[in-house]
């Protein structure tokens, strides 16, 4: 700033900058509602929890329930399925997580039914690990819903849930 050639900022420069700054805030304020209107609306956000009766779900059975517009798997696991999941060494997993960290009661596995690859609904009791296999691009999940093969990067996420009683669970 030592050069004499550079003029000192004057009052007009200040006015330009101030006008542009206020203008930018104004444009942003108008554009944001135009974008945000596409986000999930209040009625969608309101549908945040469901209750599931576990009594009719037999051992070995998987039930798909609808939560927030998408599928959630409720799987009543057999002894063998639990053992397989618990005894899997973490070292070989793409998204390492213990089975214990993914369940509240070992016989009930509750996971999102949305493949973490591109969102298809995997088919139960399929694939090498007898967990799930996705029909779309062949991702394979084990009996803990952990990703084992195929293009999906992550385990099937565990939604927030709580047991209300022995046979009732609240998802969301």
Partner 1 sequence: MSGSPTYVPKSALGRWFESRLPIMGLVHSSFVAFPVPRNLNYLWTFGAILAFMLGAQIVTGIILAMHYVPSATLAFASVEHIMRDVNYGWLIRYLHTNGASMFFLAVYIHMFRGIYYGSYKAPREVLWILGVIIYLLMMATAFMGYVLPWGSMSFAGATVITNLFTAIPLVGTGVAHWLWGGYAVGDPTLNRFFSLHYLLPFMIVGVVILHVWALHVAGQNNPDGVEVQNVERDTVAFTPYATIKDLFGVSIFLILYAWFVFYIPTYLLDADNSVPANPLVTPAHIVPEWYLLPFYAILRAIPNKLVGVVALAAAIILLAFLPWLDTSKVKSGKYRPAFRIFFWLFVVCCVGLGYLGSQEVSDTTTWIARILAIGYFGFLVVALPVLGLIERTKPLPASIADAVLAKTKPAEAAAPPASR
Using CB under 6 A as the binding rule, whether residue 154 contacts ligand FES is answered as no
Using CB under 6 A as the binding rule, whether residue 126 contacts ligand FES is answered as no
Using CB under 6 A as the binding rule, whether residue 120 contacts ligand FES is answered as yes
Cα–Cα distance, 169 to 160 (Å, whole number) = 11
User: Please, what is the minimum distance in Å from the beta carbon of residue 148 to partner 1?
Assistant: 13
DSSP code for 22? H
Nearest Cα residue to 85 out of 134, 27, 144, 3: 144
User: Please, what is the minimum distance in Å from the beta carbon of residue 92 to partner 1?
Assistant: 16
Numbers of helices and strands, H then E, in the chain? 3, 10
Q: Catalogue the E-assigned strands of the chain.
A: 50-53, 62-67, 70-76, 108-112, 123-124, 132-133, 140-141, 147-149, 161-165, 168-171
125 tagged catalytic: no
Using CB under 6 A as the binding rule, whether residue 137 contacts ligand FES is answered as yes
Tell me the number of residues near partner 1 by CB under 8 A: 31
Q: Given candidates 22, 90, 118, 123, which one binds ligand FES under the rule CB under 6 A?
A: 118
Q: Given candidates 54, 73, 74, 139, which one binds ligand FES under the rule CB under 6 A?
A: 139
Q: For residue 89, with 0-12 CB atoms within 10 Å meaning exposed, 13-18 middle and 19 or more buried, which class applies?
A: exposed
In the list ligand FES, partner 1, none, the entry touching 60 (Cβ below 5 to 8 angstroms by class) is none
Write out the residues near partner 1 by the rule CB under 8 A. Answer: 35, 38-41, 44, 64, 66, 68-71, 113-114, 116-123, 134-138, 150-153
């Amino acid at each position: 700033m030592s050069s004499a050639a550079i003029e000192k900022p004057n009052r007009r420069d200040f006015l330009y900058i101030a006008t542009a700054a206020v203008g930018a805030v104004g444009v942003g304020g108008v554009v944001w509602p135009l974008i945000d209107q596409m986000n999930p609306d209040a009625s969608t956000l309101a549908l945040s929890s469901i209750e599931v009766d576990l009594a009719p779900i037999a051992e070995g059975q998987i039930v798909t329930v609808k939560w927030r517009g998408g599928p959630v798997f409720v799987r009543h696991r057999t002894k063998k399925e639990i053992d397989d999941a618990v005894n899997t060494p973490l070292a070989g997993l793409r998204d390492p997580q213990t089975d214990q960290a993914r369940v509240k009661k070992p016989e009930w596995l509750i996971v999102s039914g949305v493949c973490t690859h591109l969102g298809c609904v995997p088919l139960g009791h399929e694939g090498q690990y007898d967990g799930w296999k996705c029909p779309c691009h062949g991702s394979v999940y084990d009996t803990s819903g952990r990703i084992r093969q195929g293009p999906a990067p992550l385990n099937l996420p565990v939604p927030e849930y709580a047991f209300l009683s022995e046979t009732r669970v609240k998802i969301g």
